[in-house]
Amino acid sequence: MKNILPSILFWVILISSSCKEDVKQSEAFLVKSPAELVNIEFLLTADQQPAYLVRFKDQLVLDTSTMGFDLRGMEPLGKGMQVLGTDTHAMDETWEMPWGEQRKVVNKYKELTVKLQEIDAPNRLMNIIFRAYDDGLGFRYEFPKQEGLNEVVIMDENTQFSLTGDHNCWWIPGDWDIYEHLYNTTKFSEIDAISKRDHPNLAQTYIPENAVNTPVSMKTAAGLYLSFHEANLTDYSGMTLKIDTENLRMVSELVGSGEGHKVKRTVPFMTPWRTVQIAEKAGDLIESKLIVNLNEPNKLGDVSWFKPTKYVGIWWEMHLGKSSWDMASGKHGATTANAKHFIDFAAANNIGALLVEGWNTGWEHWIGFDDREGVFDFVTPYPDYNLEEVVAYGKSKGVVIIMHHETSAAPRTYDEQMDTAFQLMHKLGIHAVKTGYVGKIIPNTEYHHGQWMVNHYRRVIETAAKYEIAVNAHEPIKDTGTRRTYPNEIAREGLRGQEFNAWATDGGNPPEHLPIIAFTRMLAGPIDFTPGIFNIKLDPYKAENQINTTLAQQLALYVVIYSPVQMAADLPEFYVGQPAFQFIRDVGVDWETTKVLNGEIGDFVTIARQERGTNKWFVGSITDENARELTIALDFLEASKTYEATIYADGDNAHWNDNPTDIKIEKKTVDNHQQLKLKLAAGGGVAISFLPVEE
Ligand code: NOJ
Ligand code: CA
């Protein structure tokens, strides 16, 4: 349904606008988004260097920001360029997500390609492609086929983002190995990632610069919301953003390799998109589909062999120390009997899958070992775990098994063995795997987020697809919307997940964590956060630790945090006899539409989602450490229908620390003319199911 309009959207104008510094502009090229909300201006500076500016409704959002590359063995590419010509193009299509937070996605933009060439020898060519959307923009570089330039080794990409104020920012450090940091809320001028180097819980970090990871979200003094990220990270290194606090500017800082370079590519090639989401309401950042839209259409075709599902796991019990992954400990969790116990529980509670960790040999040699190559083989179960029997038992009860492959960050071993591992899964009819990359990457010249690993993670996705396997990666490369192209990329971690609460020595994830995540990490894509802990204080296993939310918030997370695989993470015994568990039984995992009803970054957010294939709606609302009241209109419900709303709210005395399990459950008959007043306790939340009343 591609509708490519003729190239009528192109302006060449002469301007004398006011811009930073000594930039003397020559001619400028503009591209405006379809509704003319976002306006990108391309120009050459006095040094003939490519640069761009961005306006949102006449407000300058990014001031003159230059672009270029440092390359090994040759002059930098940037200054001294001329415009050879331009192309324009418009797109207005609607595509379908095979599973997702909504079924239909509108992809509507105007595109400008600027073709550049160095004025002097060696006259290298470079194109820059801009896409203006009404909810932001993307741009990427293209190194076209050209004489004399066959391979480039990028030492640095120098893409600037020049801010127009000292915005409020929500950020984590630009770590080359892990995204599992707590978010910081500071003015841009106060960002200090270096001070996070000695984080107590993260063994494998490398934070070389005062840089932040993306998505990094901001609020301007004028009340605009911005989020910076990238889309379609393919055969390139992840981008962090170096912070220049004095000039209020960010510059791309690619994740490197111990070999000294950042990226090696054969020409021709294109970089990932550099993206900026722009919104007048914080919730619009979440509704925006900019990141997936900037990816290629589905390459896999029908992926209906993967079904979005809730799942339980032989998992939390390891994080609590009740059992262990390895057998030598004498408290092995992944036994046939335990798996059957979980399958019975899942089958009785409308939960379709079971994750089993610690099923394969090798865990005795997992954390803290340098010689991790070849330790796990991904096909050999421990003797007390009968894989075939468990799979067959699950099948008889309608529960599928999610496979687990902890690579212990030895990707070459996984590369060698994954075909065999996926063949076994295929034979058993297992269609999903959770992968993991705990530890320093072997070889130690590489980082989790560099080009070498980006290519590894992609190889896993492509190989898994051949065997009809979907992947939920932990310690992953960040999501850049590639699930549009590879819809077997179902979810990933890439944040400080629930598990941190079980063993963090810094108090765990604070109550503001998830109200920040919803507007930062979640803009990138689905999150395997693993909600649903009812035994909030973790007694008796981890009495010194706890979850820093109320029980009602744990329920709300099934709606607020999007993932097509959503875990009921707690031990079954903590769900037994709990009326609140009914919400987890009922809640959907695959959505027709999503509406963000309200929200402020780091404070609160309320999201409504309609389940695919039913008329059921679910609402989740969460708050930070502050109690608050929010009124929501039910106008998202279908007109002329009556619904039974079951409201799982914080009790009158609920508080994330003092009284987290105080919950009150109430039923009401409602329709779409009504409003509901939600009362959220400190660190609390509300979860609501709306089930249509059949007349
Ligand atoms: C880290 C993952 O995030 C966690 O969920 C998993 O249990 C362990 N690695 C073991 O693979
Ligand atoms: Ca992890």
The Å distance, Cα 436 to ligand 1 centre, comes to 6
Query: Looking at residue 16, what is its pLDDT?
Result: 35
pLDDT digits (tens, 9 = 90+) for 283-297: 999 999 999 999 999
Q: Tens of pLDDT along 64-80? A: 999 999 999 999 999 99
* pLDDT of 11 above 70: no
CATH number of the domain where residue 35 is located:
2.70.98.10
pLDDT exceeds 90 at position 26 = no
38 belongs to a structural domain: yes
What's the pLDDT score for residue 8? 33
> Tokens in use for 557?
């997370």
**Portion of the chain with pLDDT greater than 70, in percent:** 96
Residue 388 pLDDT: 98
Mean pLDDT of the 384-394 span: 98
Kindly give the distance from the C-alpha atom of residue 77 to the centroid of ligand 2, in angstroms, as a whole number.
38
Q: Which atom of ligand 1 is nearest to the CA of 530?
A: 5
Please state the three-class secondary structure of 327-341 as a single string: CCCCCECCCHHHHHH
Report whether 81 contacts 50 (CB < 8 A).
yes
Q: Is the pLDDT of residue 23 over 80?
A: no
Q: What is the pLDDT of residues 524-548, one digit of tens each?
A: 999 999 999 999 999 999 999 999 9
The answer to whether residue 139 is domain-embedded is yes
Q: How far is the C-alpha of 521 from the C-alpha of 500, rounded, in Å?
A: 16
Q: Which of 541, 555, 530, 448 is nearest to 503 (CA)?
A: 541
Whether a cis peptide bond, with omega within 30° of 0, leads into 540 is: yes
Catalytic residue among 446, 499, 512, 592: 499
Gap between the Cα atoms of 170 and 186, Å rounded: 7
Structure tokens at 137: 């923009």
pLDDT of 129 higher than 70: yes
Determine the pLDDT at residue 429: 98
Q: What is the pLDDT of residue 407?
A: 98
For the CA of 202, the nearest ligand: 2
Q: Looking up tokens 């009404």, which residue turns up?
A: 134
pLDDT of 22 over the 70 cut: no
Q: Per the domain annotation, does 491 fall within a domain?
A: no
C-alpha to C-alpha distance for 172 and 676, rounded to whole angstroms: 35
In a domain, 256, yes or no: yes
pLDDT at 565 over 90: yes
pLDDT at 196 (0 to 100): 87
Residues 6+ apart with CB under 8 A from 347: 397, 398, 399
Q: Which atom of ligand 1 is nearest to the CA of 475?
A: 3
Ligand 1 pocket test, candidate residues 204, 355, 357, 367, most atoms within 8 A of CB: 357
- Cα–Cα distance measured from residue 510 to residue 518, given in angstroms and rounded to the nearest whole number: 14
Whether the per-residue pLDDT at 5 is higher than 50: the answer is no
Nearest residue by C-alpha to atom 6 in ligand 1: 436
What is the pLDDT averaged over residues 202-212? 89
d(CA 654, CA 680): 9
Question: Is a pLDDT exceeding 70 seen at residue 160?
Answer: yes
pLDDT of residue 695: 67
Residue 13 has pLDDT above 50, yes or no: no
Burial of residue 121 (CB within 10 Å: 0-12, 13-18, 19+) is exposed
Q: Assess whether pLDDT exceeds 60 at residue 81.
A: yes
| pLDDT surpassing 50 at residue 250 | yes
Question: In the predicted model, is pLDDT for residue 266 greater than 70?
Answer: yes
Kindly state whether residue 231 falls inside one of the protein's structural domains.
Answer: yes
Q: What is the pLDDT of residues 627-668, one digit of tens each?
A: 999 999 999 999 999 999 999 999 999 999 999 999 999 999
Rg (CA), the chain: 25
What the block records as the tokens of 88 is 């324009």
DSSP helix/strand/coil, 564: coil
> Is 36 a catalytic site residue?
no
Question: Is position 588 within any domain?
Answer: no
What is the pLDDT, as a whole number, of residue 367?
Answer: 87
Q: Look at residues 130, 106, 97, 169 and name the one whose alpha carbon lies nearest to residue 11.
A: 130
| Inside any domain, residue 423 | no
What is d(CA 614, CA 296) in angstroms, rounded to the nearest whole number?
A: 29
- Asked if residues 261 and 154 have their Cβ atoms less than 8 Å apart, the reply is yes
Contact yes or no for 476/492 (Cβ under 8 A): yes
In a domain, 471, yes or no: no
Phi, psi of 345 (to 5 degrees): -65, -45
Burial of 307 (0-12, 13-18, 19+ CB in 10 A): middle
Specify the residue with its C-alpha closest to ligand 1, atom 11: 406
User: Which has the closest alpha carbon to 99: 605, 565, 513?
Assistant: 565
User: What mean pLDDT comes out for the span 570-581?
Assistant: 98
Q: What is the distance in A from the centroid of ligand 1 to the CA of 357?
A: 8
Mean pLDDT of all residues in 447-468:
98
The number of distinct structural domains making up the chain is 1
* Cα Dmax for the chain: 77
CA separation (Å) from 29 to 60, 113, 129, 130? 16, 10, 12, 11
What's the domain range around 157?
11-293
27 pLDDT band, cuts 50/70/90, is confident
From residue 508, how far is each of 206, 407, 503, 542 by CA, in Å? 21, 26, 8, 12
Atom of ligand 1 nearest to the CA of 436: 11
DSSP category for residue 573: G
| Lining residues, ligand 1, CB within 6 Å | 315, 357, 406, 436, 438, 474, 493, 499
Q: How far apart are CA 625 and CA 513, in angstroms?
A: 10
> Is residue 21 scored above 60 in pLDDT?
no
Rounded-to-integer distance, Cα 133 and Cα 150, Å? 33
pLDDT of residue 197: 85
- Give Cα separations from 361 to 59, 317, 405 (angstroms): 59, 18, 11
Whether residue 4 is predicted with pLDDT greater than 70 in this model: the reply is: no
Per-residue pLDDT band for 2 (boundaries 50, 70, 90) equals very low
> Cα(531) to centroid of ligand 1, in Å?
15
Question: What is the three-class DSSP state of 456?
Answer: helix
The pair of three-digit structure tokens given for residue 350, joined into one six-digit string? 């409308």
Determine the Cα–Cα distance for residues 628 and 682; give it in Å rounded to an integer: 8
- pLDDT for the residue 202: 77
